[in-house]
Amino acid sequence: MITIAKTFEFCASHRLFREEWSEEQNHNVYGKCANPNGHGHNYRLEVIVGGEIDSVTGMVMDASRLDDIVQQHLFSHVDHRDLNRDVPWLRGKVPTVEVLTEAFWDRLEQPIADAGSGAQLQKLILHETSKIFATKTRPRG
């Protein structure tokens, strides 16, 4: 198997808080990220897909098809949005970088598998800032 990676960028805002907690408890757990007005990030997402190289095209997956999948199934929902309020499939979740990575995997895994190239999503890396990121990797076997 060989992998290819593509990097994407998007902007979004969020607030880390739990509705059932008091403002004080939210602040104690999430600090300034619990600000009632939220805050924004310029996220960077690395999408790594893997499979066999097609003998005709020489590609594991057409990169423009990967662009289309990420745009349709992910960025059309999250780019320049409030992740707490504007994204139905994130409602009720605390949009930490870890939770977002898991949710993004769930949005992308099947469409990539269905693209017809035989490629599978192997790894996602979501950078919230230059200092913090989360990674999800396909289990072996």
Q: What is the pLDDT of residues 21-52, one digit of tens each?
A: 999 999 999 999 999 999 999 999 999 999 99
**H-only helix segments in 1-141:** 23-30, 63-70, 76-78, 97-113
Percent of the chain with pLDDT over 90: 97
pLDDT surpassing 80 at residue 130: yes
Q: Which of 14, 41, 80, 109 is catalytic?
A: 80
pLDDT surpassing 90 at residue 20: yes
CA atoms of 130 and 44, how far apart (whole Å): 9
Tens digit of each residue's pLDDT (9 = 90 or more) over 87-124: 999 999 999 999 999 999 999 999 999 998 899 999 99
Is there a catalytic annotation at residue 128?
yes
Angle between helix axes 63-70 and 97-113 (nearest 10 degrees) is: 130
- Which class for 126: exposed (0-12), middle (13-18), buried (19 or more C-beta within 10 A)? buried
Beta strands in 21-87 (DSSP E): 39-51, 81-82
Q: Across the chain, what does the average pLDDT equal?
A: 96
CA angle, corner 125, sides to 112 and 99, nearest 5? 90
pLDDT of residue 116: 85
Question: What phi and psi, each to the nearest 5 degrees, are found at residue 88?
Answer: -55, -40
pLDDT surpassing 80 at residue 141: no
What amino acid occupies position 89? Answer: W
pLDDT surpassing 80 at residue 4: yes
The full length of the chain comes to 141
What are the structural domains of the chain? Answer: 2-137 (3.30.479.10)
Q: Which of 27, 33, 73, 77 is catalytic?
A: 33
Q: Give the pLDDT band of residue 140 (cuts 50, 70, 90).
A: confident
